[in-house]
């Protein structure tokens, strides 16, 4: 129990730090000092969140004497959030590292993360459907889509101008979806003192942020195309 409590405290502190700073890199000048420094604070916070979430989820599944079907289901969701947040953050960083590539990318570490995200999304979605748990049935679909798109990006030669910019943006905003969704599912009900919320509330971060990602991508795509024509 000591280690569970320790990881829980670390998870809460890192989670609130991530929630407090995630918006700063979005609104500040891209590539500027604030964007870079606060971005690294966010990534470090999410690394702690992912590791602690994985540990707590595994403990709930394998060692909790008071475990129920519902608590195990939420534990699997916690583990999936850990996979989603770490995979998207890693992807967001690595596309910058290889922004000048001209061919397909085959480094195993960069392919492993999206492969795990894709596979875990499929498995957990099927598990959620088998027990009739709405959150586990539908939320992993975003991991399936992101995992598949990331694999395709790495395996194919780049075809668009400033491709790495778009992928970095999508990766980090995908991580933001994981951050806010986890808070919506676990943190907000406890802060508000409610035992449960309507399942639609769990999907609000995805419903809001997916169009934001699409909007940002479209904006910067037009901007880069105009720069190219000039």
Q: What is the pLDDT of residues 99-130, one digit of tens each?
A: 999 999 999 999 999 999 999 999 999 999 99
Q: Look at residue 230 and tell me whether its pLDDT is greater than 60.
A: no
Domain ranges, residue 18: 2-102+161-229
**Considering the domain boundaries, does residue 204 fall inside one?**
yes
Question: Does residue 12 lie in a domain region?
Answer: yes
Assess if residue 149 is contained within a domain: no
Whether 154 is covered by a domain: the verdict is no
Q: What's the pLDDT band for 206 if we cut at 50, 70, 90? A: confident
Mean of per-residue pLDDT scores for the chain: 88
pLDDT surpasses 70 at 229: no
Calpha distance 72→102 (Å, rounded): 44
Domain count, the chain: 1
Residue 115 included in any domain = no
Would 225 be classed as within a structural domain? Answer: yes
* Contact residues for 17 (Cβ-Cβ < 8 A; gap 6+): 41, 45
Residue 8 has pLDDT above 70, yes or no: yes
pLDDT grade for 197, boundaries at 50, 70 and 90: low
- Which percentage of the chain shows pLDDT scores above 70? 93
Name, in order, each residue with C-beta under 8 angstroms of 206's C-beta and a sequence gap of 6 or more.
139, 142, 177, 181
Largest distance between two CA atoms of the chain: 66
The pLDDT of residue 148 is above 90: yes
How far, CA to CA in Å, does 11 sit from each of 45, 104, 121, 171, 173? 9, 36, 22, 21, 20
Which has the closest alpha carbon to 205: 224, 227, 223, 187? 187
Least confident of 52-66, 139-153, 160-174, 188-202: 188-202
For residue 45, pLDDT over 70 is answered with yes
Let me know if residue 130 belongs to a domain.
Answer: no
Q: How confident is the model at residue 219 (pLDDT cuts 50, 70, 90)?
A: confident
Residue 146 has pLDDT above 90, yes or no: yes
Q: What is the pLDDT of residues 12-35, one digit of tens each?
A: 999 999 999 988 988 888 888 999
Give pTM, 2 decimals: 0.88
Please indicate, yes or no, if residue 111 is contained in any of the structural domains: no
pLDDT at 226 over 80: no
């Amino acid at each position: 129990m000591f280690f569970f409590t320790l990881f829980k405290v670390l998870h809460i502190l890192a989670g609130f730090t991530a929630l407090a700073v995630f918006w700063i890199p979005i609104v500040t000048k891209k590539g500027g000092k604030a964007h870079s420094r606060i971005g690294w604070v966010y990534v470090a916070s999410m690394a702690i969140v992912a590791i602690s979430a994985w540990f707590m989820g595994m403990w709930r599944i394998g060692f909790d004497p008071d475990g129920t079907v519902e608590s195990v289901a939420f534990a699997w969701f916690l583990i999936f959030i850990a996979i989603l947040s770490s995979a998207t953050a890693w992807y967001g960083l690595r596309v910058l590292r290889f922004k000048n590539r001209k061919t397909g990318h085959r480094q195993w570490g960069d392919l492993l993360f999206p492969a795990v995200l894709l596979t875990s999304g499929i498995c957990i979605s099927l598990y959620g459907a088998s027990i009739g748990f709405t959150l586990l049935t539908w939320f992993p679909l975003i991991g399936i889509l992101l995992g598949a798109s990331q694999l395709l990006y790495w395996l194919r030669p780049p075809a668009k101008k400033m491709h790495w910019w778009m992928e970095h943006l999508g990766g980090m905003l995908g991580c933001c979806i994981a951050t806010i969704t986890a808070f919506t599912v676990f943190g907000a009900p406890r802060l508000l003192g409610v035992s449960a919320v309507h399942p639609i509330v769990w999907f609000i971060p995805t419903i809001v942020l997916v169009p934001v990602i699409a909007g940002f991508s479209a904006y910067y795509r037009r901007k880069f195309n105009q720069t190219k024509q000039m």
